[in-house]
Structure 1
Amino acid sequence: MSSDDAKAVARRALALLDLTDLSETCTPAAIDRLCARAVTPYGAVAAVCLYPRFVAQAKRVLAGTGVRIATVVNFPAGGEDTAAVLEETARAIEDGADEIDHVLAWRAFLEGRPGFAETQVARVKAVTAGRAKLKVILETGEIVDPDKIRAATEIAIAAGADFVKTSTGKVKVNATLEAARIMLEVIAATGRGDVGFKPAGGIRTVEDAAAYLGLADQIMGSGWARPSTFRFGASGVLDALIATLEDRVDDGGTGY
């Protein structure tokens, strides 16, 4: 990739980034640092993504910047206590969350209870409708089978997902181009250009970003991937993007 091409990818990817801190040891001070990084000399990221307990803090810190506040529910396990998930979702929205990243009940799905998983998503959608975007995390690295990844994507979209997201970043295998292709193909098959896609986990370099954007351009068209339809879930990649824009060398860092 030429320097000019890399810079073009970096500019594009920065505006599509959900800058993330979902570390178990996250503190209010870490959230302040995350929010400070969200607005760069090259523009702001799309959103910050953090645990529900930090939503109100981030909302205050980022007021007026245009950066959206995303949080996670049913995270990371994708459990079956729907009442607790609904309560967590409602509270996060009241605290100021603009986007809810909900983990599909993927174990129930794999156990042959897709209806449970779909109903849970639909009930979360009823809480978020008109108030926050709903991103449904499939945990594709645990589902593994391509046909099942396809079916899980279809279920999530049918239940009202505004985005489908690959992974929590908390399992051994997270975002892959193979899973991304399947999920994008399902979105394309719906004929709905408004359903978004978010690869998450293990995206650390400009080359990683370029690969996912190239795939989205190939399947959905070159004008489709924008903040309303495409996000990267990552923390370490921001340093790599900025280094590229500043003609510095950076290994992309580590992280979600």
Structure 2
Amino acid sequence: MTEASTRQIASLALTLLDLTDLSDTCTPADIETLCADAHTPYGHTAAICIWPRFVQQARGRLGPANPVKIATVVNFPLGNLTVDTVVKETLDAIADGADEIDLVIPYHALMEGDEQAVRAMISAVRAACAPPIVLKVILETGELKERDLIRNASHIGIREGADFLKTSTGKVPVNATLEAADIMLTCIRESGRKVGFKPAGGVQSVADARLYINLADTIQGADWVMPSTFRFGASILLKDILSVIDGRESAAIAAAAY
């Protein structure tokens, strides 16, 4: 089988994209733009990912049956809130119209050896996310750093019912890496369960996207990558995707050359 063309990778990446605005300066006008940008001449992104305070606005803008899902974040970004607080965040977001919940685990607790804190948090939020709500569990791999910690966090997330494992918040110095992706995808394969994977933070170009897709193909098989099992969390990747599909120079390459 020949390697997919850059345009094919771009077209696939579009369908996998959680188009994200979790900037501290995000405004209602930015959400209007994000909702519009999620629908392109070449198809739509998988989801938008936004702060909880904007979920109700986005649901009103997109309507009840839009193919673009609304993802939001809880226990974000530090992973240091109480279980009760995070469950309330989750239930409020679902009531406002969220389809997907991206939960930051209490990763500091895990680094200190408290696995039970992580189990309790994921389990409680899982219970609050009745089907068809999708639960993505953010490990913050750039802070966990150690291979064994990332493996342990992955296995805990899978056992406690995560629908996806997500690398990062995008709010720390090191976010998604291929090394962390390798560990997480391997844990998913070893589990034998249907759990997806989401690299987030630092995926800026179609060339970056290809590396993660190729890695997933190698570990999980060529037919595994699809929106129900794989997402990219990114804010500027869409610009490069559209440049490549349009047949223009990669926006990321052009920027680097300049």
TM-score range, shorter chain: over 0.9
Structure 2 distance, partners of 1:31, 1:169, is: 18
Per-residue deviation, 1:80: 3.8
Kept in 1: contact 2:35–2:58 (CA 8 A): yes
Q: Cα deviation per residue 1:206-237 (whole Å; 9 max; x = unaligned)?
A: 11000000000000111111111100000100
What pairs up with 1:16-27 in 2 under 5 angstroms? 16-27=16-27
Kindly tell me: are residues 80 and 28 of structure 1, through their superposed partners in 2, closer, same or farther at Cα, counting changes over 3 Å? closer
Paired residue secondary structure (2:158): helix
Runs of 4+ in structure 1 deviating by more than 2 angstroms, as ranges, are: none
What's the C-alpha RMSD, in Å, of the aligned pairs? 1.6
Question: What is the DSSP-based 3-state SS (H/G/I as helix, E as strand, rest coil) of the residue aligned with 1:215?
Answer: helix
Q: Contact 2:176 / 2:199 at 8 angstroms: preserved in 1?
A: yes
Check whether the contact 1:180–1:199 (CA below 8 A) recurs between aligned residues. Answer: yes
Matched residue, 1:83 = 84
Deviations 1:54-95 (A, max 9, x none): 001111212243100000000000014111100000000000
Q: Distance in 1 between matches of 2:88 and 2:12?
A: 36
Change (3 A) 1:53 1:217: same
Determine the C-alpha separation between the residues in 1 that align with 2:4 and 2:246.
12
What is the TM-score of this pair, normalised by structure 2? 0.95
Residue 59 of structure 1 contacts residue 96 of structure 1 at CA under 8 Å; is this kept in 2? yes
Rounded to whole Å, the distance in 2 between the matches of 1:130 and 1:4 is: 34
AA in 1 matched with 2:125: V
Indicate the residue corresponding to 1:205 in structure 2: 205
Please list every run of 5 or more consecutive structure 2 residues that lacks an aligned counterpart in the other structure: none
Contact 1:74 1:103 in 2 (8 A): yes
Cα separation, 2, equivalents of 1:155 and 1:3: 35
In 1, distance between residues paired with 2:213 and 2:135? 21
**Contact between 2:83 and 2:120, CA under 8 Å: does it hold in 1?**
no
Which whole-Å CA distance do the structure 1 matches of 2:81 and 2:34 have between them? 31
TM-score (norm 1): 0.95
Q: Corresponding residue for 1:178?
A: 179
Where does residue 150 of structure 1 map in the other structure? Answer: 151
Aligned residue type for 1:242? L
SS in 2 for 1:129: coil
CA distance in structure 1 between the partners assigned to 2:131 and 2:8 by the alignment: 34
Partner of 1:12: 12
Task: Give the Cα–Cα distance (whole angstroms) in 2 for the partners of residues 5 and 65 of structure 1.
Answer: 30
Hey, what does 2:252 align to over in structure 1? 251
CA distance in 2, matches of 1:158, 1:76: 23
Cα shift at 1:129: 2.4
Rounded Cα–Cα distance in structure 2 between residues aligned with 1:222 and 1:3:
11
> Matches of 1:65 and 1:156 in 2, distance apart?
29
| Secondary structure of the corresponding residue to residue 251 of structure 1 | helix
Q: Which residue of 2 aligns with 1:60?
A: 60
Map of 1:104 onto structure 2: 105
Matched, 1:37 2:45: no
Judge conservation of contact 2:169–2:200 (CA < 8 Å) in 1: yes
Q: Which SS does the other structure have where 2:113 is aligned?
A: coil
Counterpart check, 1:191 vs 2:200: no
The answer to whether the Cα contact below 8 Å between 2:205 and 2:237 also exists between their aligned partners in 1 is yes
Gaps of 5+ in 1: none
Aligned sequence identity (%): 53
